[in-house]
Structure 1
Amino acid sequence: MKISKKLPHMYWSYTRGQWMERTSPFTLKPVRPIKLISDKELKDIYLPLAVFIKERYQLSLRRRQHIASMLEESPAPTPFIIGISGSVAAGKSTIAVIFKELLAQLLDQPAIDIIPTDNFLFSNEILEKKGLLEQKGFPESYDTESFIHFLQSIKFGQGEQLIPVYSHASYDIIPNKYQTVRPSDIFIVEGINTLQRVKINESGLAVPDFLDYAIYIDAPEDYIIEWFLQRIESIFLDNQHIPSSYFHQFAGLSVQGVRQLAKQVWEQTNGPNLRQFISPAKYRADLILEKDRNHQIKHISLKKI
């Protein structure tokens, strides 16, 4: 028997219209506008989704408290970790901010922090020594061991952590700069590698083992390519005259020339990475959001289990 590659039996699947019909009877708490999206998109799509995630968070809290009570132990202050994955330029960081703001409102301001997994890329210097600079973004270009150690530390309450900081303007880890990560109620970990099962040692642990809820941002590749070119164009225009920027070296190029270089990067690196490693992991997600060309959500898949 041939099993469908789309695994439809794992998900409740809704078009945009079907989702709005199913969730319109919800009595939802009004929320403040979020500048990143229209009020209609916020109310029709993201607010009901945030309510579902809020319920998962609260169920997780009750479950831990119940188990601790059964064992006559004090419940550990374990954070709820949301992973957001998808292609480069799919809008992961934007959606992370949207859910952060919505959950903060729905849960009356819990501590929520966003962690970009780009912070755990090896520096360009290390990638060059390893011969991996042309494969930046592939699983082997990340310091996965440090990333998993960090996830263990925040998951099991080992206090304040310092992690590196990545800059898209310099296209590199910033030397001697660190992000201070303090204990939070919820962490949103966003990056292309959050659903990939890259094992680093005999423990067999991988990044998805630490996630309480996983989201995948999906779209046709031709849409993503255009978003990627637009993103590179925007970064180039903002940074071409800054000497410390990676894009300063291209200051003599036209915008069209920069877009052509970006297209080559897509064809050589980002496209193969999407097809080989990022997209195949999407069915590990609890929620798959498919976008249209204008970044609006056109299809929603919620895992049944």
Structure 2
Amino acid sequence: MSTSELSTGDRAAVGHFDFSRSEWARLRQSTPMTLTAEELTDLQGLNEELSVEEITEVYLPLSRLLNLYVVATQGLHHVANDFLGREPVKAPYVIGIAGSVAVGKSTTARVLRALLSRWENHPEVALVTTDGFLHPNAVLRERNLMDRKGFPESYDVRRLIRFLDEITSGGTEVEVPKYSHLVYDVLPDVEKIPTPDILIVEGLNVLQTWTGRTEDAPSVFVADFLDFTIYLDADHDLIRKWYVDRFLTLRRTAFRDPASYFRRYAELSVPDARRTALDIWDRINSPNLVRNIAPTRSRAHLVLQKGPDHRVDRVRLRKL
């Protein structure tokens, strides 16, 4: 593919391998399908049907590639430990997954966790989302940031970096803050996870290098701890549609829970709910995508380009 054939937004693709879906699917080779139909149903996201075709043509080749990377990295660790004459310390291979709200990050993370845990060299795969590293709502209100939740300045980046530093340094059990989408807030209790073979970190901010608060700026960034990064991409209008569709589905389901932070939206008519969703998108999610999330796409090792129905149409892999 020549430079002249690249779209305006993808000039950074020079230095990458660019695959059509069919070209990428051939790289699966003999990688077996290890997920059942029931598991696919459990893994799919809201308004996002996960087909066997999507798994076999997109995620099995990706699983094979990541397995090769993980095994190679494990080998390098063994070589380094032998050279230094020290006992091996278990450190996870860390995969970061970034992209907009409603683009399908959580589904991709769950699928990769399920597929990668089937490989014999790394059966222990943990998944952590950066939602738990948001500042609590009380802090966001104090800083007048409730309408900027998800923006770089709304995260406790130092806490996230401490977690990554501890778990990649061989910590046997590391604390992870918990987040509730029902109450839309960080919970007071934490979860302790043992060091896995692979750690998947999913969130809006995993490729960002700006915290939004100069006085809080760390000397290292989340991306410094990531061995491989994936960016989920789609046309802006598609993502907006997916966001609105998801909002309308939640209006009929989760928002009806009396404990839901968004309970007030459950009683909206369909036209009013659609207008509300578009307003939230235009005021919060779209500006965050344009200013803070999309500019990090070029930093990813691999980009999954989605078309309608969340179907991955192209794959771009950075050259080594």
The alignment status of 1:256 with 2:271, answered yes or no, reads yes
Change (3 A) 1:23 1:240: closer
Tell me the equivalent position of 2:240.
225
Instruction: Structure 2 unaligned segments of length 5 or more: list them.
Output: 1-5, 45-49
Give CA-to-partner distance per residue, 1:111-144, whole Å, 9 cap, x none: 1111010111112221110011111110000010
Change (3 A) 1:259 1:164: farther
Q: Aligned partner of 1:53: which letter?
A: L
Aligned to 1:78, what secondary structure does the other structure show?
coil
The alignment of Structure 1 onto Structure 2 pairs a total of residues equal to: 301
> Structure 2: how far apart are the matches of 1:82 and 1:117?
13
Q: Aligned partner of 1:186: which letter?
A: I
> Structure 2: how far apart are the matches of 1:153 and 1:256?
48
Tell me the equivalent position of 1:187.
199
Tell me the equivalent position of 2:32.
29
Aligned to 2:310, what secondary structure does the other structure show?
coil
> Structure 1: how far apart are the matches of 2:93 and 2:121?
16
Change (3 A) 1:155 1:246: same
Q: Aligned partner of 1:40: which letter?
A: E
Aligned to 1:214, what secondary structure does the other structure show?
strand
> Structure 2: how far apart are the matches of 1:245 and 1:177?
19
The alignment status of 1:198 with 2:204, answered yes or no, reads no
Q: Aligned partner of 1:32: which letter?
A: L
Aligned to 1:6, what secondary structure does the other structure show?
helix
Give CA-to-partner distance per residue, 1:222-255, whole Å, 9 cap, x none: 1101111122222222133322211212333113
Q: Aligned partner of 1:195: which letter?
A: L
Q: Is the 8 A contact 1:198 1:207 kept in 2?
A: no
Tell me the equivalent position of 1:154.
167
> Structure 1: how far apart are the matches of 2:218 and 2:274?
43
When the two chains are superposed, the root-mean-square deviation of aligned CA atoms in Å is: 2.1
2:13 equivalent among 2, 5, 8: 8
- Report matched runs for 1:169-180 at 5 Å: 169-174=182-187, 176-180=188-192
> Structure 1: how far apart are the matches of 2:121 and 2:273?
45
Q: Aligned partner of 2:300: which letter?
A: A
> Structure 1: how far apart are the matches of 2:171 and 2:24?
40
Give CA-to-partner distance per residue, 1:172-199, whole Å, 9 cap, x none: 223x232222211111100010111136
Tell me the equivalent position of 1:75.
88
**Aligned-pair identity (%):** 34
TM-score, normalised with respect to structure 2: 0.88
- Report matched runs for 1:1-305 at 5 Å: 6-20=11-25, 22-23=26-27, 26-33=29-36, 34-35=39-40, 36=44, 37-107=50-120, 110-174=123-187, 176-198=188-210, 204-305=219-320
